[in-house]
Amino acid sequence: MTMNDADALIATQIRSVLAAAETGGGVAPIVEAGDPILRSVTRPFDGQVDDAELAQLAEVMRATMLAAPGVGLAGPQVGIGLSMFVAEDPGSLDPETAEVRQRTPMPLRVVLNADYTPATSEDVAFFEGCLSIPGYQAVVARPREIELRGQDLKGTPIAEVVSGWSARIVAHETDHLEGIMFLDKAEMRSLSTNTSVARFWSQPSTQKAAAELGFTLPSGMLM
């Protein structure tokens, strides 16, 4: 496949998603684990569609994310091999959970051509899930802070340090752009259904889960 063919395919994928959303109440189908697009490295946005279609795609991805419901959604999760994600988090209503997990509200962000690097050597580990692997969660260690780079919908460069739960969301979604899913990085002994997480592991920290399921938390994680 030539570069032009690859870009044409992405444009076709985008228009297919927009058409599906038009008949689906503004929401697109979410691709689930096993679809090869979730294991493929995305292509950068380079004008495959015009600004209006790109903005429309961002709206559809946000609507799809919120309807799921979720706090992040990447291009491959709606069947598009494009380096793009949306993320938005209302934060935690429980003060203790918000403090332990550093989960404060994150306004909507749409990021193109994203990549990240750790901005600290400190990792924290919590349960997380994925809209493409419905029904399951597992504990994943991620940097407490990351440095995010990319562009917004207008092409303005993004270079910022993201911390706490927002960093976890951004890292999770950016991983999707490289064909990486959260279970690739998870403590597999922690793998739990959503029902089991609600029943046994609803505490703000993961100390109890680590002790009883038999996995190790990052060094220095004392929560």
Which residues are known catalytic residues?
Answer: 173
CA distance 213 to 208: 8
In 3D, which of 12, 44, 32 has the Cα closest to residue 77? 32
Closest CA to 198 of 96, 129, 110, 132: 129
Spatial distance between the Cα atoms of 207 and 217, rounded to a whole number of angstroms: 8
| Contact status, residue 128 vs residue 179, Cβ threshold 8 Å | no
CA distances to 60, 73, 167, 178 from 156, rounded to whole Å, are 21, 21, 20, 22
